[in-house]
Structure 1
Amino acid sequence: MARAYVCAVDVGTASARAGIFDDRGQLLSRAVHPITAYQPEAGHGEYDSEEIWRAVCAAVKAARAETGLSAGAIAGIGFDATCSLVVRGENLSGIGISASGGDRFDTIAWFDHRAIGEAEECTATGHRVLDYIGGVMSPEMQTPKLLWLKRNRPESWRAARHFFDLADYLTFRATGSTARSQCTLTSKWTYLAHDGGWQHDFFRGLGLDDMLAQGGLPDEAIPVGAPVGTLTAKAAEDLGLTEACRVASGLIDAFAGALGVIGGRDDDRLYSQLALIAGTSSCLMGFSPSPRHLAGVWGPYFGAALPGQWLFEAGQSATGALLDHVIRIHGGGLEPDAATHRRLAERIAKMRADPHADLGESLHVLPDFHGNRSPFAEPQARGVISGLALDSSFDGLCRLYWRTAVAIALGLRHILDHLAANGSGIDTLHIAGGHTRNPLITALYADATGLTVHQSETEDAVLAGTAMAAATACGLYANLPEACRAMQRPHRVIEPDMAARPAYDRDYAIFLRMHEHRREVEAMQLQLNQPAEALSDPLQPRDL
């Protein structure tokens, strides 16, 4: 029988990736094109959406060219992306979102934390939408970013005609349709797909009662896997495809990863497994048959990935980004590229094989350099490194890198313990994302958590999930669950090394105590920042 083919596009923090898949989920080719993440000041991140579209088009053309397939062989295309916010104006012009007032950048990056104050205001409303985002509004979601925009760039607000999640912007560029995905609106815009959609009183209370009209936001969302339309003539030319190619509704990247690694599981196993989408940041995704409300865990979201299923999302805001940061700050000029990470991993593996090597056991790290997403939901939290010495050697960098990786794994264990304490019976992690290319870290996840880890044979499971949605949208499968089952790929199993467990248990006890200490110090700082007359014995030492 003739094979059918789809294209999947994933826009991450630093690049656009495209893959061509057959109808059994086999990845035939993959191409990558960089994008620029502009960081004009601390806590701010911005993109140029036109540059993103050009990168997408270049990646799609390169991926198809590698396969030798004709443009007409690609029956469907799907897009996933980070939850970045795109602002467009009349005639689809880009609208500046920079605090500096420049107009080149029209997209607030997912990791941008400029709206921490606005996020706290959203939380202070106590509105019931908070019950579906873990009780605390994150500055990485869209409502606080839009509130910041209205207050700080009022001219941009007035000029805006469209507010898009990045994945929805890409389907718009592809089809001309302003439809929005149930995945993006439910998970990042406080749209309650299970109960009436938009909660107008929430926005009215924040002074955002004009947000829906100003941003051209629809009353209803499009389910995941549903077709948005077909490619316009211009988009078909840009992408090197044909106007017959059908376009699937968009996905947040981590949600695509969840589809790619656990979306095809039968219900009796679906609920005991989690998807770990680990790259620049890490997301821990799980499904449940009924809503589960947990503090510090985003969701529950109805139908944000699989139809009829609830999904919850925990996470760490900086994981791969933190390892990059360690290299930049402590690497003596080394660049955090793939070659450097590989060199570090190879040297650490040799050091671990030597029973007499110093692996930095006296180094302890809290990895919350960009806030704690889960389980504390504290975006203002900051990281800690304890035990630094005057060591600028390469082996010294290896020790710090390794102990930072251990801390990231312990942070994952912390989240899993939080889930277990609230009734989650999780026994397996399915890992996807950039961390799968570092065998040192994938094994560490198993050892530090004590869970079995599954790693798909697919080079890019996030793209695989988006391909499943594309295959559904173009009619290769009757529905999304069927596509997920048919296109699911085999995986290899990584079992934890139980002999390593005592050492990680000791590290974990210190990790938890450091969190307690950090929070106590932050509480002291808040108290000391009060007016002097409000303090009781401000100069007296405090027992921490």
Structure 2
Amino acid sequence: MLFGAVDVGSARVRAGLFADDGRLLARSSRGFSLVPGPDGHAGHDFAEIWQAVADALAEARRLAGAAPSQLRALAFDATCSLVVDAPGFTPDVIAWHDHRATAEAAELSATGHEVVARAGGSVSPEMQTPKLIWLARNRPDIWASLRGVRDLCDHLAWRATGIEARSLCAAAAKWAWLPDRGGWQEDLLHQMGIAGFPRPGPVLAPGSAIGCLSERGAAELGLDRETVVAAGLIDAFAGALGAAGDMPALIAGTSNCIMARDVRPGQGLWGPYPGAILPGESVTEGGQSATGALLESIRQLYPGTESHDAILVRLARRPDVDETLHLLPDFKGNRTPFADPGMRGVIHGMSLQRDVAALDRLYWRAAVAIALGTRQIIRHMGLDSPRLAMAGGQARAPLMRHLYADTIGAEIHWQPEDAVLRGSAIAAAAPLSGGILAARDRFARPLQITTPDPQSVARRERDWRIFLRMQQHRDEIAAM
């Protein structure tokens, strides 16, 4: 009996096959395109994403030597991109990082509704409700002809099964839906003029069975119709589910997210979201957008072809290069603690050199800045845990785990296999394994622990003081 997991990120689909004891047997990935638009709009073509899903799953099955009949269940996680199913709307996926609805988010924030309080007092344009408001006001033709509008993880499950259902994870975290306040907040939807969008079907807890693959879904994915599809999660929440479960989790991928229980509401903190990952638990998220994307933008500056792994191997030999170079990493705004989507990054001490050594220095100091921002988020959340589970692409590099341990001053606990895919595999296994808690326990893997190095901690303390001072300078300049 095998379980499939599909993770749709910002530019790639990753598929994994897991044994029923939680071992990752095979993994494959396929890329898909970003479609840029005017005024910072960004989107994707769902057909291209779906083809990448099918190709990645087929390759993972081939690598594992698995027949379609062996895959008993499947779940999807994805970025919180919005799929608009309406004739003539292209590209039909609004990317999660699209900020077209900044004005609508500000208007929504001014209502003071409980949905706003759960968004840290300031709704992000990355959430779905402001995007719906933008769509209704700017594309009334599309709004009038909507066949469906879904979070990407939900649309993937719908395409696979043909069954209308929403994940509680996505609904609670990104929509005007509060699980402990009766669900859909009709008063707010009517106030903002968006109550009429189609939203049939139940809202299901992660790991709940939606149903089996449809005839179309089975044919397109190359699987048997009997394969069960379970309700999935937003990608960061899947990572938290797949990481060590008894401590806060840092999901360090395209963005950095800290997921934790029992956090008091505060500015720039998203939540608490009851049941968004596990039943009976509320989770709160603090985060910073486009952290891994910042490193990727620097990687693209290198002459020739460079991989993140190659850069990090070089840096591991001499990590503390050019400590006169300092950054504030808010190039896509700041989520936590400032809740300001208009905030921008700062680089201090940059030269005109563009050779490999200079770009390595820029890459490393950007990584340091991102880790410092994560430290600030953790402090803002009031977390004092000496342990932090880490997942996501940045976690694969020992150098990055050491950087976060030294900067935050906490042990970093990492499970060597992919925690985001594992989280989705746990959701997939839940209907056939006695529930999501039992599946999580079965899928747990041995941990690797990275402890802070006292000498490096001292260097990061100096960086921390400079980081805070640069933020003060930025505020002073903005006030002028």
TM-score normalised by L of structure 2: 0.97
Aligned to 1:405: 367
Q: Which residue of the other structure, out of 338, 345, 362, is the alignment partner of 2:312?
A: 345
Query: Matches of 1:381 and 1:165 in 2, distance apart?
Result: 26
CA offsets 1:373-411 (integer angstroms, 9 cap, x no match) = 111111110000011123223211111111111000000
Q: Say what the alpha-carbon RMSD is for the aligned residues.
A: 1.5
Query: Matches of 1:69 and 1:501 in 2, distance apart?
Result: 47
Report the residue type matching 2:368 in the other structure.
V
* Matched-pair contact (CA < 8 Å) for 2:104–2:130: yes
- Is the aligned partner of 1:246 residue 2:208? no
Q: 1:219 and 1:235, CA in 2 relative to 1: closer, same or farther beyond 3 A?
A: closer
Instruction: Give 1:220 deviation, angstroms.
Output: 4.3
SS at match of 1:138: coil
Aligned to 1:222: 204
Report the residue type matching 2:254 in the other structure.
T
Q: Which residue of the other structure, out of 275, 280, 288, is the alignment partner of 1:316?
A: 288
Report the residue type matching 1:139 in the other structure.
P
CA offsets 1:308-347 (integer angstroms, 9 cap, x no match) = 1000111110111101222335x3x445xxx432332232
Aligned to 1:465: 423
SS at match of 2:51: helix
SS at match of 1:155: helix
- Percent identity, please: 46
Structure 1 runs of 4+ aligned residues shifted over 3 Å read none
Q: Which residue of the other structure, out of 287, 292, 295, is the alignment partner of 2:261?
A: 287
Instruction: Give 1:41 deviation, angstroms.
Output: 3.7
Q: Which residue of the other structure, out of 325, 343, 348, is the alignment partner of 1:386?
A: 348
SS at match of 1:32: strand
Instruction: Give 1:219 deviation, angstroms.
Output: 7.0
* Matched-pair contact (CA < 8 Å) for 2:153–2:232: yes
Aligned residues: 480
Query: Matches of 1:251 and 1:344 in 2, distance apart?
Result: 32
- Is the aligned partner of 1:8 residue 2:5? yes
Max Rg structure: 1
Instruction: Give 1:244 deviation, angstroms.
Output: 0.7
Query: Matches of 2:233 and 2:256 in 1, distance apart?
Result: 16
Aligned to 2:322: 360
Query: Matches of 2:317 and 2:39 in 1, distance apart?
Result: 37
- Is the aligned partner of 1:31 residue 2:35? no
Query: Matches of 1:161 and 1:398 in 2, distance apart?
Result: 48
CA offsets 1:470-503 (integer angstroms, 9 cap, x no match) = 1012x2x111111101111111111111222222
SS at match of 1:249: strand
Aligned to 2:443: 487
SS at match of 1:160: coil
Q: Which moved more, 1:340-349 or 1:128-137?
A: 340-349
Query: Matches of 1:435 and 1:361 in 2, distance apart?
Result: 21
Aligned to 2:250: 276
SS at match of 2:204: coil
- 1:425-504 alignment runs, 5 A limit: 425-458=384-417, 460-473=418-431, 475=432, 477-504=433-460
* Matched-pair contact (CA < 8 Å) for 1:83–1:188: yes
TM-score normalised by L of structure 1: 0.86
* Matched-pair contact (CA < 8 Å) for 1:183–1:252: yes
SS at match of 1:17: strand
Aligned to 2:112: 126
Aligned to 2:376: 414
